[in-house]
Amino acid sequence: MIKILIVDDEKPICDLIDMNLSAAGYFCKSVQDGMDAIEFIEREKFDLVLLDIMLPGADGFDIMEYIRPLQIPVIFITAKSDVKDKVKGLKLGAEDYLAKPFDVVELVARVEVVLRRFQKTESLLVAGDIAVDMEARKVTRAGKPVVLTNKEYGLLVLFMQNKNIALFKEMLYEKVWGDEYIADSRTLELHVQRLRRKMGWEKNLVAVYKVGYRLEV
């Protein structure tokens, strides 16, 4: 499982990030002190660090200097929104920079982008009792195999890779069918209905008005 370290001196922010990333399928640990963060990184292997700048013990820039040789991707999450701070963070090697206050949906999306860039996404996707082994191309529900068409499988993978994120119909058509979205076509709707039934997602795979669909887990 992908492991993410959250470093922020405000515990409520750590808890909020942890809750949303855990819902998206990541394993998270959090710490509120800079020196404690360095100790965590020395003891354990993390796939990504979400790092505040203003921290007790050692600030985010100091921690970044320590992390850089380890080649662990870092996203700065901070109230310091000055351009000079952003430039400094990026020059130190951070992959992204998100200013507070931020939208947690945007944070989850940025985390996914960085993990893909570093090829740290997993071959096993899990959402509730649904598991997808992408290497074996096998889907199970509560441990029992589920038979899907190629298009249903393609939609399933997209929804599970983007849990709790609204996906546009146009993007789903492009990724799964390789075609442009036709407004009066019910093809996508019918495939989503079948996927809901097979996965038991009648309440989880929801329509988003004038956008598309979102898998809520």
Task: Please report which residue ranges of the chain form alpha helices under DSSP H.
Answer: 11-23, 34-43, 60-67, 83-91, 104-117, 150-161, 169-172, 187-199
Which 8-state DSSP code applies to residue 136? T
Same fold for the pair 3-117 and 149-215: no
The CATH number of 149-215 is 1.10.10.10
Contact 175, 217 (CB under 8 A): no
**3-117 fold:** Rossmann fold (3.40.50)
Instruction: Identify the three-state secondary structure at position 173.
Output: helix
Main-chain phi, psi angles of 96, to 5 degrees: -160, 170
pLDDT tens for 99-143 read 888 888 888 888 888 887 877 666 678 888 888 887 788 899 988
Torsion over CA of 137, 45, 91 and 99, rounded to 10 degrees? 80
Annotated domain spans of the chain: 3-117, 149-215
- pLDDT tens column, 34-54: 999 999 999 998 999 999 989
The phi and psi torsions of 144 (rounded to 5 degrees) equal -105, 140
What pLDDT, in 10s, does the model give residues 192-211?
999 999 999 999 999 999 89
